[in-house]
Amino acid sequence: MFIDTHTHLYVDAFDEDRKEVVQKAIDAGVEFLLLPNIDVETIDSMNQLVIDFPKNCFAMMGLHPGNVKEDWREQLDLMHGKLANGNYIAVGEIGMDLYWDKTFIEEQKEAFRIQVNWAKERKLPIVIHARDAFDEIFEILDEMNDDSLRGIFHCFTGTKEQADKIMTYGGFLLGIGGVLTYKNAKIDEAIQHLSLDKFVVETDSPYLPPVPYRGKRNESSYVLHVAEKLADVFQVSLKEIEEKTTENAKKMFGLN
């Protein structure tokens, strides 16, 4: 089996065929679908998907950095209550995104710190979104990292040096998605010196579809294309990628 460790199948892009897309993934051998939250507006639809597919879908709780706006404290207050009273496998999707807008950079930093502390308190992994913000995230992790902190750098698109820096924290893996299949992304050059116990695979559906689906809606079943490319990068069998990334994900998220 494969695990799509990062998929937003609950968003509007799947309103017309959500259950069919989930079943398509399961039929393709992608049996576990891990759902990072975005903001307070997405919680109900995310949780409904877990209700509909309780053996396959697993939810996280967190505020996406791109949605840290004026009401970020109110959103976090609500999410903290949900986290305390729900069955969530991680705190995510959290982090920093300075690609589009730096207006709320200080608020993003504070929201990230708060949510990292939630994960520590509840002994959960974190799922980090890092876009044009590796240095800022590293600065915070340098302050907060300890033996209790672990997680995934989702959709890793950094350099070899950034990958090596992440490895120094001890408890983190790299989430590898469709960008690995893009011709000029050069992610293979940044990761091929690492061992296979440092990776999980993901889609970030409906975003960032792998080749040959660029320009189309991404789906969880397409994680097989990511795995195939990863096998090519490391010159191992697809079976080895399947076994290792599934083992890594199960261990990180406490999945049976």
197 phi and psi angles, rounded to 5 deg: -80, 5
| The total number of structural domains that make up the chain | 1
Burial 67-82 (b: 16+ CB within 10 A, else e): bbeeebeebbeebeee
The owner of tokens 């967190």 is: 62
Spatial CB neighbours of 194, under 8 Å, sequence gap ≥ 6: 163, 167, 174
* pLDDT computed for residue 19 by the predictor: 98
Mean pLDDT, the chain, rounded, equals 97
- The CATH number assigned to the domain holding 54 equals 3.20.20.140
Tens digits of residue pLDDT in 134-187: 999 999 999 999 999 999 999 999 999 999 999 999 999 999 999 999 999 999
pLDDT tens for the chain, 256 residues long, are 999 999 999 999 999 999 999 999 999 999 999 999 999 999 999 999 999 999 999 999 999 999 999 999 999 999 999 999 999 999 999 999 999 889 999 999 999 999 999 999 999 999 999 999 999 999 999 999 999 999 999 999 999 999 999 999 999 999 999 999 999 999 999 999 999 999 999 999 999 999 999 999 999 999 999 999 999 999 999 999 999 999 999 999 999 8
Strands 172-176 and 199-201: parallel
Domain range for 219 = 2-253
Q: Hey, what are 218's tokens?
A: 């991404």
Q: What's the rounded Cα separation, in Å, for the pair 46 and 236?
A: 35
* pLDDT computed for residue 256 by the predictor: 82
